Chain A
């Protein structure tokens, strides 16, 4: 299990892990449980510019498709081909092996609006999502 203390969360259930000026992005354990069996992941192309809260990837269960939004603005520098090949990794390891893509961040301050794991857990309990 990853150190969730190092992750920042969006209200749309993505997480961001910052390493230098690069942010890794995935979906929360709560999100993967809600989606259940992930059977398809479509990742953004390397080099694509994404805007904060803009659609960056698609994750699909047997029943439905869900958009994955970029937690911060920037350029896509990595995409995790392993989750495209075996989407069930997202269910098995949402905080580690199940990451989706990495963004070279334009403005690190954008991450200030994101929630800590503790605040995210409160947010889920409040049922506001």
Chain B
């Protein structure tokens, strides 16, 4: 499981100290759970969970050429990225295939910070470097920053106890600020991957352990517990967030993955021609959410059938701790992807009934 090349995040020893079960995840040694995926999941939904997100890839793109370069590669319009606001966008190859999905932070003064997936970091960096005719300055800032996410309804209260220089109440969803947390620099955003309110922060690697420990201590009276990749996966699935490499990859365009809301067809970008052609022709498959009616847990790779004919494949599936149902994502032929459509999932070689539902599975009460 562990390979010699696996990297440790700045919080690795802290996880060990907390008794975490460590796994290899896209080249990083990360906690899958500390005590129990269910406990960590439920704490995040009802109180708060603290996650190590140091594995997320971090790039800085700057200079006068930064914006034209980003406009050319990203499908979404970078004009939406006013300073302090975060824009989500896929970027695609010439065939419209999604290379990654990225959070773009406009830090002002022609400086952008890109948060990319861990699994695609090296590939993204190489691809961007080879498509940078504009001459933007692309800097790998991965090693200098550790990442910590606090997620759950008690997040604002807890983080408010950790010497944050900026007022948290004023920080809106999908916005960020460069501030100080526990006295140290932090790229702090109101974002997450769990469907809950919460914050993500990138802090200097060498200060990560201190910030992690102080937040954990401050949050203890409010029910904050450390949470691993296991609950991160069940939380994001309930929240209807696709995972790159699992639910989307280079063989899919934004059309099949319901990401056309993050594609601006009124500007030019790499892959636009194919996406326009496919849009006109209609998708052959679309990513749909479903829940099981029969007793069975769907898993990645399970075939989906309708009247005995194969119509798709499950990409993510799990027991949902919040809904106490079995849920998943699958690529389905468009004719079978309408909400309410009944489908069969092949689980342990047996046909089990399921129904297409509207994503997200879970939406928090505001």
Which chain A residues have a beta carbon within 8 Å of chain B's beta carbons? 36-37, 39-40, 42, 58, 60-65, 84
Contacts and interface: CB of A to CB of B under 8 A. Distances in A.
Interface string B219-251: 000000000001001100000000000000000
13 contacts: A36-B36, A39-B38, A39-B297, A40-B326, A58-B348, A61-B37, A62-B38, A62-B230, A62-B319, A63-B32, A63-B230, A65-B299, A84-B295
B348 A62 contact: no
Given A62-B319, A62-B321, 5 more contacts: A40-B297, A61-B37, A62-B234, A63-B230, A64-B299
A36 B191 CA distance: 29
A60 B297 CA distance: 8
B39 to A, nearest CB: 8
Nearest to A34: B21
B interface, over-half SS: mixed
Given A65-B297, A65-B299, A65-B348, A60 B319 contact: yes
Interface in B308-338: 318-319, 321, 326
Contacts of A40: 295-297, 319, 326
Contact of B318 (A36, A58, A62): A62
B62 interface: no
A36 B33 contact: yes
Contacts of B233: 63
B295 A62 contact: no
A33 to B, nearest CB: 10
Nearest to B324: A39
Contacts of A39: 38, 297, 319, 321
Contacts of A61: 37
Interface in B24-70: 32-33, 36-38, 41
Nearest to A58: B348
A72 to B, nearest CB: 23
Contacts of A64: 299
A37 B348 CA distance: 20
Nearest to B350: A42
B80 to A, nearest CB: 36
Contact of B38 (A37, A42, A58, A60): A37
Given A60-B297, A62-B234, A65-B297, A36 B37 contact: yes
A103 B98 CA distance: 52
A37 B299 contact: no
Contacts of A65: 297, 299, 348
B345 to A, nearest CB: 13
Give the 9 A-B residue pairs with the shortest CB-CB distance, closest first. A39-B319, A37-B38, A62-B37, A60-B297, A40-B297, A37-B36, A36-B36, A62-B319, A63-B230
B297 to A, nearest CB: 5
Contacts of A42: 295-296, 348
Contacts of B234: 62
Contacts of A58: 348
Contacts of A60: 297, 319
B297 A37 contact: no
B316 to A, nearest CB: 12
B196 to A, nearest CB: 18
Contact of A63 (B37, B295, B326): B37
Nearest to B23: A63
A40 B318 CA distance: 11
A127 to B, nearest CB: 14
A4 to B, nearest CB: 24
Nearest to A88: B38
A95 to B, nearest CB: 20
B32, B230, B296, B319, most chain A CB atoms within 10 A: B319
B37 A37 contact: yes
Contacts of B37: 36-37, 61-63
Nearest to A40: B297
A84 to B, nearest CB: 8
Contacts of B32: 63
Contacts of B348: 42, 58, 65
Contacts of B41: 62
